[in-house]
């Protein structure tokens, strides 16, 4: 996620700071979502540009040896955060509800009221053009939406999901179009390996400032790396980068 505060160019600041430490990286200025690459960026566009704070997708075409990679960086719409409903919170106002909403149709209705699905549909169509050119395609970022691979029958009673199994829209769309969820390929069991990415623990910040649903266990996996399978691309490992520890002891 990119913020160019005070009209500064965050991409340039990152590249310059790394250069002072002896590292060569490449980045082009962007808004809301961005890409920092160890390899030169041939071109960069915004298939889904940021408008009215409803998310974005940035695409960088990168050359690695003789292989061209189309890498997409996503920061999808944070509103209508429907995975709060079964936890007893509104995904629109962030206020506590009189009771959790466990009706899957109502959960999906609120989820689809976001613009996350529009962004993913545009990505899928753009990615098809890259694939037709023989390019590798990867998509990573903050989706602000869980995965149907996580909200399963076996995991329905974890993290205050209150027994609900939800077929989250965008993970289904990506799977239906052949994209693989790298973390779930490496760790297919969502009970033993939940892969939680939000909220992140920070021992330097008061816990109450890290939480949105303060009386619920809102932990979830909403950040992903997807890739389209290709013989030139082999998943070796995947790790979650961030502070150790958890907001729940």
Euclidean distance between CA atoms 193 and 64, whole angstroms = 31
CB contact at 8 A, 146 and 160: no
Euclidean distance between CA atoms 16 and 26, whole angstroms = 10
Phi/psi of residue 125, nearest 5 degrees: -70, -40
Q: What is the pTM of this model?
A: 0.95
Low-confidence ranges of the chain (pLDDT < 70): 249
The reported pLDDT for the residue numbered 249 is: 56
Q: Which helix (H) or strand (E) holds 26?
A: none
Three-state secondary-structure class, residue 141: strand
Residues in the chain: 249
CB contact at 8 A, 103 and 113: no
Residues 136-183: tens digit of each pLDDT: 999 999 999 999 999 999 999 999 999 999 999 999 999 999 999 999
The reported pLDDT for the residue numbered 202 is: 86
């Amino acid at each position: 996620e990119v913020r160019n505060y005070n009209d500064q160019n965050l991409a340039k600041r990152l590249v310059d700071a790394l250069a002072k430490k002896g590292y060569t990286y490449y980045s082009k200025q962007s808004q809301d979502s961005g890409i920092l690459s160890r390899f030169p960026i041939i071109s960069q566009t915004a298939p889904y540009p940021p408008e009215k704070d409803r998310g974005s997708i940035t695409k960088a075409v990168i050359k690695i040896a003789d292989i061209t990679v189309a890498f997409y960086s996503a920061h999808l719409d944070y509103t209508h955060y429907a995975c709060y409903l079964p936890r007893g919170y509104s995904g629109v106002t962030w206020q506590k509800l009189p009771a959790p909403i466990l009706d899957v149709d109502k959960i999906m209705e609120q989820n689809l009221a976001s613009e996350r699905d529009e962004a993913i549909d545009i990505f899928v169509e753009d990615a098809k053009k890259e694939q037709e050119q023989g390019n590798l395609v990867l998509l990573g970022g903050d989706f602000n939406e869980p995965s149907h691979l996580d909200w399963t029958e076996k995991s329905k009673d974890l993290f205050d999901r209150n027994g609900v199994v939800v077929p989250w829209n965008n993970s289904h769309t990506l799977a239906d179009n052949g994209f693989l969820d790298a973390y779930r390929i490496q760790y297919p069991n969502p009970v033993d390996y939940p892969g939680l990415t939000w909220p992140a623990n920070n021992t330097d910040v008061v816990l109450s400032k890290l939480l949105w649903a303060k009386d619920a266990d809102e932990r979830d996996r909403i950040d992903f790396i997807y890739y389209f399978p290709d013989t030139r691309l082999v998943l070796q490992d995947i790790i979650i980068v961030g502070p150790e520890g958890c907001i729940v002891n």
